[in-house]
Structure 1
Amino acid sequence: MQWLERRLPFLGRFLRHLVDYPMPPVNWLWTVGACLIVGLALLVASGLFLALFYTPLPRLAFNAINTVERHVPAGWFLRSLHVGGADMTFAALYIHAGRGLWYGSYRAPRELVWWSGLCLLLLFMTTAFIGYVLPWGQMSYWGATVITNAVGDLPLIGPMLLSYLLGADGLGPVALHRFFILHIFLGFMALLLVGVHLVCLHGVGSSNPTLSTRRPDRTMRPFVPYYAARDGLAVCVFLILYAVLVFFLPGWLENPVNLLPADPLHTPPNITPEWYLAPWFAMLRAIPSRLGGLLVAAGSLTVLFLLPWLGGRTGPTGRRAGHAPIGWTLFFAAFLTLAAAGMHPPSPCWVWLSRLAILIWFTVPCVLLPLAARQENRSPTAVPGRGPADVRGR
């Protein structure tokens, strides 16, 4: 280390910053970020291995996946590691985002932390959808058909986007080749965006979940050893659950319909996406117009970007005001309802439940959250200009 530090002086300062990084008294939900980093690293490593054996041609892609699973030594394990990694990473990602919503981590001065995290969520969703198409199974092909048809309905830019994405032949060799390149490229972009997210976080510090309680704790402790040990334990639990999914529950990793090669002449009776994309698929089906469904799905993410203004710029976390906990509980229930609706056939019951969940999704951040922020600002216990931004207790 001394030899390296004499030649790379910034390395020692960087390592000392990581060790001495001051942390407020956060709870176990803050350890999910470390699990996300481990999950993304395993996804990239296993994905690079799979790319060595993949052939981006419709007549060879499905057989290439079967070859990896049946004939390549330990290929079945690395394929399951990659597919299961998507499930585990998205589960951790949604818990991480839900923690940020519940504790108001989107407020000033953490807007850049929140926005970079949302961009990472969008990047993960796009990469996962493209990766779902690559096996060229029956569900992959028809799921891509539904999404590309919806994108094509966008006025002015829709046909242009499809021409760049699919080429002149629709879902065929050109489209699959471009999906393969984009999947690899976006995977490395996710690594870069994780670095940006961490830089934004270390610039302002972590939020303090105790500031909204009756006994706020402003004690700051170094990251090592206090919180590094906690993150390490959380990562161990994450890897145990990961191993259980890969070794004992392999049937959960892939839709059985997708084990059949793509057949453009035979439409599956029920087109369903993976569970982590199901809420937005349910939004597309709940609106009669394909363009309207696409706009609603885009708007559902747009309101999350607007939370720094909708939820108040300063002040303690929203848990103090009466409306915010109820609102976020309804919001999480709406998310789970949309996920369940997207994985079931589009019956009238699920369609109306989806529409109710969409209404709750937009009502909570656009109506209940501003009311909670106004109530919080009028609270006699609120201190002007102080709140979660003041994590160091200055």
Structure 2
Amino acid sequence: MSGSPSSYVPKSGIGRWVDARMPLPRLVHDSFVSYPVPRNLNYAYTFGGILTLMLVLQIATGIVLAMHYTANTATAFDSVEKIMRDVNSGWLLRYLHSNGASFFFIAVYLHIFRGLYYGSYKAPRELLWILGCIIYLLMMATGFMGYVLPWGQMSFWGATVITGFFTAIPLVGEWLQQLLLGGFAVDSPTLNRFFALHYLLPFMIAGVVVLHVWALHVTGQTNPTGIEVKHKTDTLPFTPYATTKDAVGMVLFLIVFAYFVFYIPNYLGHADNYVQADPLRTPAKIVPEWYFLPFYAILRAVTFNIGPIDAKLGGVLAMFGAIAVLFFVPWLDTSKVRSAVYRPWYKLFFWLFAANALFLGWLGAKPAEGVYVPLMQVSTLLYFGFFLVVMPLLGLLETPRRLPNSITEAVLGKEPPDANSETGKVSEAQRRVERS
């Protein structure tokens, strides 16, 4: 799809002049107007556009909030309160930014689950998937540092606990912790570092998003069948078909987002973060933001030594391993069929995995004691088991359902009359080879 000739035709002398020197309008037209997309895309494929919209919102509100925030332990908490009370529409900016972070993660989790369900990571889209994982890592770093900036109780103690885990890393652990903190404890140098990085990282995310979209346009969009485009009837122009679908998805997403911003703006936060940070008073329960809770549960699931690896280092390795394993998904899944629609056993295990991920999030908010500890351990094993055992074995043992001959057949139930035309068809012999 990416190799088709451009259909852009400048309509004015100025347009022709610009196109001959810097064909930016041609690039936009070819990428977002005439770009062919599979005709069977559903609303699960709207989250890319939603994520782009949320990134722009986070950058725009963050720039304005940065104009009024002071990264100093003596004034940080008060500067946030000043934004809420004295800055024109400051309350709205802050609630858009704080709830925007949560909805950014909601959209990215749904985007990841969609990729896992429809096999969007399979060749030739491995690099596309890896770039998405890099964006996710940058989002996690940005979210963690942003959580510290309000300088509430949970901000301070969350930063203290999470950065303390770096000390478990042999040889360089303490050096890494001090580099992050700017000293030996969470203090003003920590706020300065976190504020600078929190401001910078969204622009790095935007840069990787550009690479992500570029890689998408090179390999072409996947679709719910997991079948590649075979002839022109399999595709439709991006505008108006995909843009209309994306617009509907964005509107529905923004309605829910607006409800949280205007009616329950603090629902996804923590009450202790409205109390100024006090190093002498530890909260009864220290938890990170909700979007880190599954990994927090995995971190606390390791309560025993594993040979020379003590429990603390084992927990850190398990937590980072839970993220690192995502990078290897294209090679862990050995099935030749992409979409779970045609893989009955994979579909079952996928939904069990999704339920287990939600359960890990629930466990992450619970204390690491009593029955919760063995539940965390079992859920952690199930999490890694899906990637390291289920994916490789199912590809070898599962018998998929019959695939349609083309995207058009999947939509219409039959091949179109021009499927065997000179414009890009696949012969019946080729189809038999592909089905075998």
TM-score normalized by structure 2? 0.83
Match of 1:128 in 2: 143
CA–CA distance in structure 2, aligned partners of residues 115 and 129 of structure 1: 21
Secondary structure of the 2:299 match is: helix
Of 25, 32, 36, the match for 1:22: 36
2:334 aligned with 1:302, yes or no? no
Of 237, 256, 266, the match for 1:222: 237
How many angstroms does 1:72 deviate by? Answer: 0.9
2:389 aligned with 1:367, yes or no? yes
Match of 2:365 in 1: 343
Q: Go from structure 1 to structure 2 and tell me whether the alpha carbon gap of 1:321 and 1:304 turns closer, same or farther (over 3 Å shift).
A: same
Q: Which amino acid aligns with 2:17?
A: R
Secondary structure of the 1:282 match is: helix
Match of 1:188 in 2: 203
Secondary structure of the 1:58 match is: coil
How many angstroms does 1:326 deviate by? Answer: 1.8
What is the 5 A alignment of 1:320-331? Answer: 320-331=342-353
Match of 2:118 in 1: 103
How many angstroms does 1:16 deviate by? Answer: 2.4
How many angstroms does 1:193 deviate by? Answer: 1.1
How many angstroms does 1:189 deviate by? Answer: 0.6
What is the 5 A alignment of 1:41-120? Answer: 41-120=56-135
Secondary structure of the 1:135 match is: coil
Match of 2:284 in 1: 269
CA–CA distance in structure 1, aligned partners of residues 353 and 401 of structure 2: 28
Match of 1:6 in 2: 17
Instruction: Note the residue ranges of structure 1 that are not aligned, 5 or more in a row.
Output: none
How many angstroms does 1:329 deviate by? Answer: 1.2
CA–CA distance in structure 2, aligned partners of residues 87 and 211 of structure 1: 30
Aligned-residue sequence identity (percent) comes to 39
How many angstroms does 1:227 deviate by? Answer: 0.7
Secondary structure of the 1:267 match is: coil
Deviation digits for residues 8-57 of structure 1, max 9, x if unmatched? 44213212212111111111100111111111111111111110011111
- Work out which structure has the larger RCO, using CA pairs closer than 8 Å and 6 or more positions apart in sequence: 1
Higher Cα Rg, which structure: 2
Contact 1:330/1:360 (8 A) holds in 2 = no
2:301 aligned with 1:286, yes or no? yes
Deviation digits for residues 46-83 of structure 1, max 9, x if unmatched? 11111001111111100000000011111000000000
Q: Which amino acid aligns with 1:35?
A: I
Contact 1:321/1:375 (8 A) holds in 2 = no
Q: Which amino acid aligns with 2:325?
A: V
Secondary structure of the 2:371 match is: helix
Contact 2:337/2:400 (8 A) holds in 1 = no
Q: Go from structure 1 to structure 2 and tell me whether the alpha carbon gap of 1:393 and 1:220 turns closer, same or farther (over 3 Å shift).
A: farther
Deviation digits for residues 214-265 of structure 1, max 9, x if unmatched? xxx9711110011101101111111111110100112314211110010111
CA–CA distance in structure 1, aligned partners of residues 123 and 48 of structure 2: 20
Contact 2:118/2:226 (8 A) holds in 1 = no
CA–CA distance in structure 2, aligned partners of residues 205 and 360 of structure 1: 33
How many angstroms does 1:272 deviate by? Answer: 1.1
2:348 aligned with 1:334, yes or no? no
Which stretch shifts more, 189-198 or 343-352? Answer: 343-352
CA–CA distance in structure 1, aligned partners of residues 95 and 401 of structure 2: 55
Contact 1:151/1:162 (8 A) holds in 2 = yes
CA–CA distance in structure 2, aligned partners of residues 176 and 110 of structure 1: 39
Q: Go from structure 1 to structure 2 and tell me whether the alpha carbon gap of 1:393 and 1:327 turns closer, same or farther (over 3 Å shift).
A: farther
Q: Go from structure 1 to structure 2 and tell me whether the alpha carbon gap of 1:211 and 1:112 turns closer, same or farther (over 3 Å shift).
A: closer
CA–CA distance in structure 1, aligned partners of residues 290 and 17 of structure 2: 50
CA–CA distance in structure 1, aligned partners of residues 349 and 52 of structure 2: 30
Alpha-carbon RMSD across the aligned residues, in angstroms, is 2.2
CA–CA distance in structure 2, aligned partners of residues 374 and 393 of structure 1: 31
Deviation digits for residues 64-103 of structure 1, max 9, x if unmatched? 0000001111100000000010111110110000000011
Contact 1:108/1:314 (8 A) holds in 2 = no
What is the 5 A alignment of 1:133-152? Answer: 133-152=148-167
TM-score normalized by structure 1? 0.92
Secondary structure of the 1:202 match is: helix
CA–CA distance in structure 1, aligned partners of residues 170 and 117 of structure 2: 36
Secondary structure of the 1:20 match is: coil
Q: Which amino acid aligns with 1:190?
A: I
Secondary structure of the 1:273 match is: coil
Deviation digits for residues 283-329 of structure 1, max 9, x if unmatched? 12221222111100111112211111110274342442333112211
How many angstroms does 1:4 deviate by? Answer: 4.8
2:193 aligned with 1:178, yes or no? yes
Q: Go from structure 1 to structure 2 and tell me whether the alpha carbon gap of 1:256 and 1:379 turns closer, same or farther (over 3 Å shift).
A: closer
CA–CA distance in structure 1, aligned partners of residues 349 and 400 of structure 2: 19
CA–CA distance in structure 2, aligned partners of residues 93 and 9 of structure 1: 33
Give the paired residue count: 384
Q: Which amino acid aligns with 2:118?
A: Y
How many angstroms does 1:164 deviate by? Answer: 1.9
Deviation digits for residues 184-224 of structure 1, max 9, x if unmatched? 11111111111111111111011121247xxxx97111100
Q: Which amino acid aligns with 1:65?
A: V
CA–CA distance in structure 2, aligned partners of residues 33 and 96 of structure 1: 7
Which stretch shifts more, 69-78 or 321-330? Answer: 321-330
